[in-house]
Amino acid sequence: MTKAAKPPSHPIDHLARCGAPDAAALLIGDKVTRFAELDAGVGRLASWLLEQAGGPGERVASWSAKTRLACMMPLAAARAGLIHVPVNPLLKGAQVAHILADSGAKLLVTNGARADMLGDTRLDECAVRDLKVAEEVIDSGGQGLPLSLAEPDDLAAILYTSGSTGRPKGVMLSHANLWLGAESVASYLKLAPEDRVLAVLPLSFDYGQNQLLSTWFAGGGVAPLDYLTPRDVVKAVARHGATTLAGVPPLWVQLVESDWPAETAGSLRRLTNSGGALTPSLIDAMRATFPSADIYPMYGLTEAFRSTYLDPKFVADHPTSMGRAIPHAEILVCRPDGTITADEEPGELVHCGPLVAKGYWQDAERTAQRFKPAPRASQYGGMAVWSGDTVRRDANHLLYFVGRDDAMIKTAGNRVSPTEVEDVAVASGLVYEAVAFGIPDERLGAAIILIVRGKDGVADGEGLAAYLRQNLPNFMQPQVVEWRDELPRNPNGKLDRVAIAADWRQEVTA
């Protein structure tokens, strides 16, 4: 089969010039940043970052709420020839310290309160700079760096995502990955310069960061929002006249239960979902709440950004489908030997093409497990992402999710590693062993259950709960913690996770 040509791409900082110079690119509170100001600010921030980091090729991290700096960092780091490492603002000091050490970041831009969360953690090679200083640089009026001349395959970012075996791993993304991802989403969502995207998702996620990049590719404006309640989202849609909103299932549950003025709900023209499947009943509620909006269910994984979307015209009749491949993605359903399955035959989802990431940062072993040569049937060839997810394809070439091979817990739109929760519990010094698993939850997608064996038969529930609150972000907090004197083991002497979860479920239903 003829190999597909790799689509052209540009360095991602060129996105700062995709819109009309006087068009709104960024709306934060009452402040509007035009595209001309975005481009100039990115250039000045790039110059400062390069000076602080010491030279091109270094990793620079940002850890903050959705400030103007956080929004400009992906472009500014790229313009300076640096590699951006965005850090989830919900993480606690221990997780952030791991990301900084693992990435080898030379610079962290954050505020004083977050810097204090790192405590006594040694950051020998990483300088910490205050967010306010960087914001002043953006407004300084000084000379900034010119547009980047990066090659498509040059590394632009490292996004950390939880893995089923423990600590987060860094997914390496090139300029081509990010540019073509922006072009793809802008294309199938039909984004236009007049669109206003309310960005409520964390910018440390590929889904969240793409809210910025795809909107700017289309010449539209982004309104970043850190919200505390669903009512904050309703007010922001009204304030900015938002036409587009991306969310995850738990947020949609909250939003359809909120009070929406008809005019505000009517301004939304498209709703996108990822990070978990929408149920048919939730889709019905979204359609009733937002009658003017098209709904775009989507599936993706950080290692390949986005794989599929369901065209709104199919949502009513095929509400449980994952849809078809997005532009620039080739999605194959394969047997273990790499051959293509027949219609309705379950197989592994394999993602091929230029959206495939460059592997895991400094982790050849885990890279080899997930990034493997593409099946022979691929038009692109090269390396592909073997997702570990089982799907099936119907006669209309629509895909349906069947199951996930790994033990990841998808809760509140986040992928949570059971091992990471367990390691923190054991680090408390209050338990010998711990097992975490997920159970279906209507609001969260999955709730985290933690089963522990206490030291010396002591069950210090309050002490463990306090330690978990201090050392795990909110979305990793167990909904239930139960103590056991003994935990079942398999013939190899390892904890029998299946039996432990089954025993708990049996007790609950008894």
Low-confidence ranges of the chain (pLDDT < 50): 1
Q: Is 492 helix (H, G, I), strand (E, B) or coil?
A: coil
- Report which of 333, 321, 336, 301 is spatially closest to residue 162, judged by C-alpha positions: 301
Amino acid at 134: A
Strands 371-373 and 347-352: unpaired
- Report which of 358, 380, 39 is spatially closest to residue 176, judged by C-alpha positions: 358
Distance CA 453, CA 94 (A): 23
- Two structure tokens written together for 67: 């400030």
Q: If you search the block for the tokens 């956080």, which residue do you land on? A: 70
Return the CATH fold of 10-16+28-174.
Rossmann fold (3.40.50)
The reported pLDDT for the residue numbered 121 is 67
Residues near 292 by beta carbon (within 8 Å), at least 6 away in sequence = 265, 266, 267, 268, 269
Distance CA 355, CA 329 (A): 7
CATH number of 409-509, picked from 3.30.300.30, 3.40.50.970, 3.40.50.11600, 3.40.470.10: 3.30.300.30
- Two structure tokens written together for 11: 């360095």
pTM given for the model = 0.87
- Domain boundaries along the sequence of the chain: 10-16+28-174, 409-509
The reported pLDDT for the residue numbered 7 is 87
The reported pLDDT for the residue numbered 1 is 46
